[in-house]
Amino acid sequence: MKKWQLIFTEQYTRRAARFIQRHPDALKQYSKTLELLEINPHHLSLRLHALKGRLEGLHSISINLSYRITLELIITDKEIILVNVGSHDEVY
């Protein structure tokens, strides 16, 4: 049961491919994170939070303790536009 639509931009798809290539051990967690994001972006395990500063307007979720996905959450259309994926330092 998918409630939200994930939007994979060309730029995000390239970043995600690079992320998986560098961190193949995280593929399973990454896939599970995206599945959960489609169902319920507010699930506690995702640790969804708004970003501030130069990334204001974006949100972040956790894949695990090391890796994050930044995204744009459009609540009115139930769309989630994926922006970036990587380590904390890479996405912030």
Q: What residue ranges do the domains of the chain occupy?
A: 5-91
Instruction: State the pLDDT at residue 92.
Output: 87
Looking at residue 2, its pLDDT comes to 65
CATH fold for the domain made of 5-91:
YaeB-like fold (3.30.2310)
Question: How far apart (Å, rounded) are the C-alpha atoms in residues 8 and 15?
Answer: 11
- Cα 26 to Cα 71: distance, rounded to the nearest angstrom: 18
Cβ-proximal residues to 91 (8 Å cutoff; 6+ apart), any chain: 60, 68, 69, 70, 84, 85
Average pLDDT across each block of 10 residues of the chain; the chain has 92 residues. List them in order: 88 96 96 96 95 95 96 89 93 90
69-74: list long-range contacts, CB under 8 Å, 24+ apart. 69/33, 69/37, 71/37, 73/41, 73/48
* pLDDT reported for residue 76: 79
Helix (H) or strand (E) holding 81: strand 79-87
pTM given for the model: 0.91
